[in-house]
Structure 1
Amino acid sequence: MYLPRQQIAQLYTALLRTTHPSSPPLLILTALSVDALCAARILTALLKRDFIPHKVQPVSGYAELQKAGEEHVSTLRRDRGGEGGVVVCLGCGGAVELAEILGLGDGEDAGTAHPGEGHGVDVWVVDAHRSWNLENVFGSTVRAADDARRAGVAQGRLLETYHRSGRGGIIVWDDDDIGTQLQAEREAYFALRDMPEITEEDIMLEDAESDAEDGAEDEQEADHDLNAEPSSSQTRKRKADSQEPDFREDDENEMPRPRRRRRSNDGAPIPSSVGDYPTSAQPSSPGAAMPSSPPKLPSQRQLRKQLLKLRRKHEATLEKYYEQGSWLAEPVSSMLYSLASELGREDNELLWLAIVGIESVDHSPYNNRSDKANQPSTRSRVMDRSEQLKQVLRDEVRRLNPLPEADLRRSASQLANEADILTNARSPMDTSIRLSPEPRFLLIRHWSLYDSMLHSSYLATRLHVWNEQGRKRLNKLLAKMGISLQEAKKGYLHLDVDIKRNLRKKILRFAEQYNLDGLVPDESGDGAGWGSRRGWGFVRSWGWRGTMSAVDVGTIASAVLEVGPSIDATKGGTWAAQDMHFGRRDSGREPTYSARVRAGLPSPPHSSDSGLDEPAATAAHEAPDWTTRRFFAAYDTLSPSTSHPQQGLQALLTHISTAQLLARAILRTGSALIAKHQIRHLRSFRMGVVKEGPDVSMFCHPGALVKLAAWVAEAVAVLEAEKGAKGKQDEALVLGSLDEGRGVYVVVGLGGTHGGKGRFRSKAELREREERRKRREAEKKAKSAEKQRKQEERRRLQRERDAANGYVSSDDEDGDASDSTESASSDSDSESDASDAGDGAEEDAKRRKRQGRNRFGQAFQEVVEETAARVRIDSFEHSVVEVRKEDLAGFLEALSMKSVVG
């Protein structure tokens, strides 16, 4: 079942009415992502205000999700002695059948304790992963016959009359996509549910049985003819009888008519009267009506064929939906903030959590949407979902954080001249959220300008910083901007005030020369005025304690999930951020990701080797729960607390070194892969493997590996664009990392969009765009000159006519004529701008059409079914797998034959 967006507050209100002190705590199953963490923070804040007991349980994959179902969810079932309850899945579960994985299906003992009541567990699914599992969206855990009697449900949609009946079921929160984009899938789903099972084999079997019966009848008739052969005299008598007319007295006043003998193979009915059919020699009278033959009804075999054809059509509709691949929809934190807004409980704290979650999804490598927020703006461009969300967030920031009266008195030009990267609060008690023109520099407030630019994937890949020439190019850019290396290597907060204030203008001055369009946003956003600020980022202050951007907060929290907390609470050790040997572990560093999970990989059903080692399974059983520890360490960074040393702002400042550590490892490993030409081109994607180096153990975590893959994919796309290779800039990438401890490769696959980080234009494209711009300017000038010439000619003719008639021309008329000339010129300018905008929108539309969705999840499943490779697919991101070390070659060979981009 799915819940329309406008009814999410109604469902929460129903929870409040049905919750009492003795109710079991609400269970929150949260994925290990920044978006899910922010959503969990928003939900727990609402639950605390309403005094609803709850419990947060992190799950890293489907194995832990199933384990949580066995340990926590199954105990709530009423048919097994539980009291029922509510389970909320944040960022997980939308792509699989939750009723099965959580143990809520109709088992053998279902309904025995309380017949007709169901299990009593409501599962709320709030997930941004697409595609949906349609069984969760349109189905339920109860039988179809019971679903028809459920009050307030129509074809899987919860109506306004719906109320919690205690039966339980899966409830998916709709972000307006299900009701508007899945009409065909909904029709196909319910048609298949109500349709009897039938296959081609059933029809073939029925045809075979029919043919066998016909053959048996023919044999019986032949045997009867052979056994009862008539004599010659009987045959002659039968012929004579057939030639004599056979009369029947139907009435005394009517003449008897010859009786029509029916042939054995004649399928037409025998008429009973003369008017049933005309004789062959006499035409029917004009007044007599022609006999109407009854319509021929289809046979059972034809009906079965039609039913099978309709079934295959609906199955093809669902299969087409599932084969689209994977993509990300509206973030989970945005949906939870919508709930808070519907309840009238939005505040600055919840708004900040929603901003951090949305920014983390927008900068995620899994995000297949093209990022046009920082591209040159056009008037006719239609905002995509990400831009719409950010525009709404900017309005929320202005509403909940009004500008001081002193800033309101300033003009827009003064604010534009003074606008720079915000680093300080307005006052010691200032905790407001503000808009800031954030450049694409990594952790710029907490690093030096040089390091921030060097570790920015957008800037580093376009300047080729993986070699010496690229480093020199970066130094030359700083020199042209008037910033010395000594000054650039200082902390950004300690830079000269003039450098910080004019940094954006200097970057914009040399952006086109270095092909860095979109590195920083414009001063006025999309040109619509100072109030729009499209492309600007969000910054929050905690008084004079510190100021951080939403992107930096998401980067730090993500690094904690992927690398681990900076401080080991059990041993008191720290990560050595200054140590260049990042692959080594000091006495206080936590075990690596490879040491955290020691279980062997499961094998396909047709594999002879089980792939499980008993010592490894024992080690995995005794390993600490690093998943929970990392989750709550990142969870504490999003706390509103400002005084606790391990929560809130203090935790963020402590874990900055973790994010810097991961950024250095990505730059070092990615540079080695590019410089050593270790990225190879296969049939349908590029492929690279990280086998050695000081950071190989760090990239055993899928989250860190996918960030490295995004960096490498962007660098390769830049190289291909510079070569002018059309069609190769958006190719998919497969990157693997060796986990020597477990003897497996962690493999991730990215689609052709590479996280939507922007498109690099080749030199030929830049020249073509410049020539097109000059040609349009020339045409505009020529058109304006022609219009002005025509206006002058009309004024001259008007003056001649006035002089001939004795009139004197007035200055007003001349002024009107000049005004019309200026308006004509402005119209020409607007037409040219609209033309430019139309061309830009057309390019964006073509580009979005070329960009496909990530189909690595389907391709991985197909390879597992076709080969004997031992593969483990456990991540909520279906483009992440683990492959046995000895099976990698065969796995990649089979994968190269698959279509990995939709």
Structure 2
Amino acid sequence: MLISDLRKEFYDVILHKHVLLMVAFDVDALCACKILISLFQCDSVHYTLVPVSGQQDLERAFLEHSEQIKHVVLINCGANINLLDVLQPEDDVTFFVCDSHRPIDLVNVYNDTQVKLLLDSTEQLTIPSYEDIFNDEESDSDDSGNESESSQPDKRRRLDEESIVRKLEKKRARRLWEESRQKIIFQYEEFSFYSTSAAYVIYQLAWKLSKDSNDLLWWSIIGLTDQLLSKKIDREKYFLDASELNRHVSRHNRLGQEEDATQQSVNAMKITFNPELQLALYRHWSLFDSICHSSYTACNLRLWTARGFKKLHEFLADMGMPLTQCKQKFTAMDIAYRETFCDSLQNSGKKYGLDQITVPSFYAQFGYKNKFCAFDAVHAASALLESIEKDKVGDANFLEALDALSRVHLDKLECGLEISKRQHKAIVSQIRTLLDMNHVVSAGPFLYAYIQEGTLDVKFFSKANCLALLARFTLEAFVKMSKSKKVKNLPLVMVAPLNFEQGTSLVVGVPPLMELENSPRSLFGRAFEQTAEKTGSRVLHDSFDPSIFALKTEDRSKFFDALVSLLS
């Protein structure tokens, strides 16, 4: 059941209940969780928080808590699976689902009692009609009257011919309806994509409850920014939602204009909306390293070639930036260069094909020293979620990332920034290897890349989000390096070792570069499922994103041969 009045149909219902809160492992879900927990604390709502990395975690967590809890909130998980079929809940259990994954499972859409889908009021869904998907008519009982017919064999021989014709017509109509139903469902579920950020939706609830603040607004901004950096939404969708959030920024940050600024606390948060450079972590890194490890600059300048590297030095010279300044930490640069480099970068960027080097974004500042861009916060939180440190498990990483979003745990945010730098270095190093060794190949209907076992920093790519980031970066780099125009319209499938002892690999599919920039929609979810069924490959579709799954390494060859045949 679709819900648009979040206050009346969701929050008022759970206000005095014990709630099981299950949250997926992504930054948008983290932010939505932070906002919702803040609301729960305001109203003394009892809750149990459980991070879930996939469907198996979801089933396990629900089974452990199902006897005590009758109200379950799912954030960025559950919308695109049949919850009643997967979890087998009792009739008095209600699920409230705030999930940006699309398409939504049709059983969830049309269940009016146990599944409540929390949506942005402006979202427009294309849902098949109930009559086209579900048939409530009771099947004819062919056994009725058997006793009387068996006692009168003569009547059975004289069955009415019209009755036989009616039954045949009914069977034919049923078969045609089934064929039409399968076609409609296939068209509805053919592509997977993302909708409005979960953090944005929950923030709308906080606003309607008159309990929003700058902190909640900041978390909503980070959730939206995560969708942009992960290529889950296009720029147009980002600009629309960012414009709405900017209205709240103006509303919450007018105090300094209306009153004496000295009345504000030194540590009060202030959010601003300004253009941001598409350079990863440059405020916490050197300018040179940031340019080399950012997808936009690295791909457009083709920094994997000697010619591209020479072009980078020419670019910096054109900016008037000495190499010694660029290679030291940004905060250690001479103030004259630090204050003018942004304008210089934009002016010189137009000559070098970097005309879209800036994107509107948000900044949060508290105190005199602490100023963070939403881009940096996303990189840090994402890196903490997928930290590969030996002494940490999934739940510990989740809680670490959750804490890093709070102002009181800046040390954890700084730790996340350092991990993110290592991730970016590993990604760029891997892309250089893939391009130099010609390991990105065309399989016909898609591009294919495989990361060998034993590769340096391969552990980073056993994590779904990091592998997806590598895949998108690799696709953009390959398209820029390739002379063929056809590759712009080809998606990429990337495979990386997942568990060497178990002999499994992690597979991720990303849409073509043209679609990533305009309308990110992936066909790999259904294609992967059909291929696995056809070949009998041993796969595990555990991720909430259908375009990410685990595969037995032994089955890789036959699986991809069949995938090529399916998509050709």
Any idea what SS the aligned residue of 2:210 has? coil
Question: What displacement does 1:188 show?
Answer: 2.2
The letter for the 1-side match of 2:98 is: V
Residue 324 of structure 2 is matched in structure 1 by 486
Aligned twin of 1:131: 103
Distance 2:286 2:71 in 1: 48
Q: Deviations over 1:221-274 (max 9, x none)?
A: xxxxxxxxxxxxxxxxxxxxxxxxxxxxxxxxxxxxxxxxxxxxxx9xxxxxxx
Identity of aligned residues (%): 27
* Residues paired across the two proteins, number: 549
Q: Which residue of 2 aligns with 1:36?
A: 29
Is the Cα–Cα contact under 8 Å of residues 188 and 318 in structure 1 kept in the other structure?
A: no
Which residue of the partner structure matches residue 586 of structure 1? Answer: none
- Say if 2:2 is the partner of 1:2: yes
**Structure 1 residues 405 and 320 mapped into 2: Cα distance closer, same or farther (>3 Å)?**
closer
Paired residues of 1:478 and 1:484 also in contact (CA < 8 A): yes
User: Is the contact between residue 91 and residue 126 of structure 1 (CA under 8 Å) also seen in structure 2?
Assistant: yes
Secondary structure, counterpart of 1:392 in structure 2 = helix
Counterparts of 1:327-726 in structure 2, within 5 Å, are: 327-365=193-231, 367=232, 369-371=233-235, 384-402=236-254, 404-405=256-257, 428-520=266-358, 535-564=359-388, 589-590=389-390, 626-640=393-407, 642=408, 647=409, 649-691=410-452, 692-720=454-482, 723=483, 725-726=484-485
Residue segments in structure 1 that go unaligned for 5+ positions in a row: 77-83, 106-118, 140-155, 157-167, 199-212, 219-266, 268-297, 372-383, 409-425, 521-534, 565-588, 592-624, 759-847
Deviation by residue 1:167-224 (Cα, 9 ceiling, x = unmatched): x61111133477x4335334423xx2323459xxxxxxxxxxxxxx999779xxxxxx
Please give the per-residue CA displacement for 1:633-684, whole angstroms capped at 9, x wherever unaligned. Answer: 11110124x2xxxx3x221123221111101101111111112211010021
- Paired residues of 1:42 and 1:333 also in contact (CA < 8 A): yes
User: Per the alignment, do residues 11 and 887 of structure 1 end up closer, same or farther by CA in structure 2, a change over 3 Å counting?
Assistant: closer
Q: 2: CA distance between counterparts of 1:326 and 1:752? A: 14
Residue pairs, 1:13-28, within 5 angstroms? 13-16=12-15, 19=16, 25-28=18-21
- Secondary structure of 2:254 counterpart: coil
The residue identity in structure 1 corresponding to 2:253 is N
The within-5 A match list for 1:783-794 is none
> For residues 186 and 155 of structure 2, what CA distance do their matches in structure 1 show?
39
Structure 2 match to 1:893: 561
Find 1:749's aligned residue among 490, 509, 512.
509
Residues 683 and 214 of structure 1, relative CA distance in 2, 3 Å threshold: farther
For structure 2, the 5+ residue unaligned runs are 141-153
Structure 2 CA distance, aligned partners of 1:69 and 1:853? 30
1:458–1:429: structure 2 CA closer, same or farther, 3 Å change rule? same
Cα distance in 2, alignment partners of residues 699 and 497 from structure 1: 38
- Alpha-carbon RMSD: 2.9
Q: Does 1:732 align with 2:491?
A: yes
Q: Structure 1 residue 61 and structure 2 residue 58: aligned?
A: no
Q: Which of 156, 175, 195 in structure 1 is aligned with 2:137?
A: 195
**Are 1:99 and 2:44 an aligned pair?**
no
How far has the Cα of 1:879 moved from its partner?
Answer: 1.1
SS of the counterpart of 2:447? strand
CA distance in 2, matches of 1:87, 1:400: 32
Residue pair 1:85, 1:121 contacting (<8 A) in 2 also: yes
Q: Describe the superposition over 1:491-531 as per-residue Cα deviations: whole angstroms up to 9, x where unpaired.
A: 222323333333233223232322112112xxxxxxxxxxx
1:10 deviates by 4.3
Contact 2:269 2:364 in 1 (8 A): yes
Structure 1 or 2: larger strand share? 2
Q: Which runs of 4+ in 1 moved over 6 A?
A: 213-218
Q: Secondary structure at the match of 1:563?
A: coil
Tell me how far apart the structure 1 counterparts of residues 193 and 104 of structure 2 sit (CA, whole Å). Answer: 10
In structure 2, what is the Cα distance between the partners aligned to 1:447 and 1:304? 69
Q: Which residue type is aligned with residue 347 of structure 2?
A: R
Q: 1:449 to 1:363 in 2, by over 3 A?
A: same
| Residue 755 to residue 71, structure 1, CA distance change in 2 (3 Å) | farther
Which amino acid letter does the alignment assign opposite residue 195 of structure 1? E
SS of 1:490's partner is: coil
Shift of 1:57: 0.2
Q: Is the 8 A contact 1:9 1:343 kept in 2?
A: no
CA contact (8 A) 1:35 1:358 kept: yes
TM-score, structure 1 as length reference? 0.58
Per-residue deviation, residues 91-111 of structure 1 (Å, max 9, x unmatched): 101111111222216xxxxxx
C-alpha displacement of 1:694: 1.4
1:855 is aligned to 2:523:
yes
Residue 181 of structure 1: SS of its match in structure 2? coil
Structure-1 residue corresponding to 2:115: 170
> Take 1:90 and 1:386, find their aligned partners in 2: how far apart are those partners?
20
Gap change, CA 1:360 and 1:407, over 3 Å in 2:
farther
1:326-377 Cα shifts (integer Å, max 9, x gaps) = 1010011011001101111111010001000110111114x1x433xxxxxx
Task: Give secondary structure in 2 for the equivalent of 1:747.
Answer: strand
- Report the Cα offset of residue 54 of structure 1: 0.8
- Distance in 2 (CA, whole Å) between partners of 1:505 and 1:889 is 51
Q: Residues 427 and 172 from structure 1, CA distance in 2 versus in 1: closer, same or farther, beyond 3 angstroms?
A: closer
* Residue identity opposite 2:114 in structure 1: G
Q: CA 1:494/1:385 → structure 2, altered by over 3 Å: closer, same or farther?
A: same
Q: Which has the larger radius of gyration?
A: 1
- 1:184 corresponds to which letter in structure 2? P
- Counterpart of 2:148 in structure 1 is none
SS in 1 for 2:509: strand
Q: Note the alpha carbon deviations across 1:684-721, whole angstroms, 9 max, x for none.
A: 1111111142111221112211111111011012123x
Task: Tell me how far apart the structure 1 counterparts of residues 541 and 167 of structure 2 sit (CA, whole Å).
Answer: 45
